[in-house]
Amino acid sequence: MNIHILGVPMDLGAGRRGVDMGPSAIRIAGVAERLRGLGHSVQDEGDIPVKAPEQQKIHNEKLKYLPEIVRASTLLANKVEKIVEGGGFPLVLGGDHSIAIGTIAGLSSYCQSKNKKLGVLWIDAHGDLNTHETTPSGNIHGMPLAVSIGLGAIELTSVGGDFRKVDPKNVALIGVRELDEGERKYIKQLGINVFTMEEIDRNGMSVIMTKALRKLHNVDWLHVSFDLDSVDPSVAPGVGTPVKGGINYREAHLIMETLNEYGNMKSMEVVEVNPILDNHNQSAEFAVELIQSGFGKKIL
Ligand SMILES: [Mn+2]
């Protein structure tokens, strides 16, 4: 595969500082070398420039740092679209999860022009389905999935073009264990496929992955948006918003191994690595291990 790494040092969407250092931490953990070791061609495209919070003011408490997030997301969308037009596999490194707004906008523009159906596998402790009307915090990293299915502030939903980026029926969420009231309502109303931690506990990850991919079987382009906070903090403590009771070490690898075997994944982002909360880069190193499994590393 022809992998293009793209960093987005963004923490404006998060309530806590530090995930802007995620792309560096993942690079330092050796992502490019390890992917080359699996036989892939890897090109690092560097970082999308993002302004620091110190350079800005918050104008809207329900949409914190909106103008800069819109600006950076638009740049990211353009860059991602160019990568896929050239036949590359975009591997986007966050940054907080708000960057998915740009990644998915870029993929969706491409898919629309080629008449392809986009699907998204969203692996996360949270729903990321808030809007400016439902958000308890005003942090935009709690909104990217809502935005991608066309809900929320017009400034965000129109990044990359004023159209719905992905049909909610072509979205599956895995690892969810913390939802806000407004998010529960959207999930019920829109029929989004959600596989909670409870269902993973009851059925096992293998069954859940099979179910999730079956829901997405008719998409032409599968994007994987992997929030490292889906993993239990005992395995990955260095994440933006740790929530206990997450997926374990092997379950996380099994997600990636299944995706590799399934063979339909055409783009991936890994977000919310927070080196400030980490122990000796353990979480970024785990993220790189997972990326390796997604790109074909096998036990045997
Ligand atoms: Mn998230």
Q: What is the CATH number of domain 2-294?
A: 3.40.800.10
Q: Percent of the chain, pLDDT > 70?
A: 100
Structure confidence at residue 231 (pLDDT):
98
pTM (whole model) above 0.95: yes
The active-site residue out of 96, 227, 257, 285 is 227
- Cα(110) to ligand 1 centroid in Å equals 23
Backbone angles phi, psi at 146, to 5 degrees: -55, -50
The whole-angstrom separation of Cα 172 and Cα 224 is: 10
Residue 59 annotated in active site: no
Give pLDDT, residue 237. 97
Tokens 């986009």 -> residue: 118
Look up 272 and say whether it is catalytic: yes
Sorted by where each begins, the domain ranges of the chain are: 2-294
Active-site entry in 11, 20, 81, 229: 229
The residue from 128, 183, 269, 285 that is catalytic is 128
Length of the chain: 300
Q: Position of tokens 């909106």?
A: 66
What's the pLDDT at 300?
A: 87
Ligand 1 centroid to 176 CA: how many Å? 10
Which residues face 29 on adjacent strands? none
Cα-to-centroid distance, 39 and ligand 1 (Å): 30
3-class DSSP string for 162-231: CCCCCCHHHEEEEEECECCHHHHHHHHHHCCEEEEHHHHHHHCHHHHHHHHHHHCCCCCEEEEEEEHHHE
- In the residue annotation, 11 being an active-site residue is answered as no
Tell me the per-residue pLDDT of 102-132, one tens digit each, with 9 for 90 and over.
999 999 999 999 999 999 999 999 999 999 9
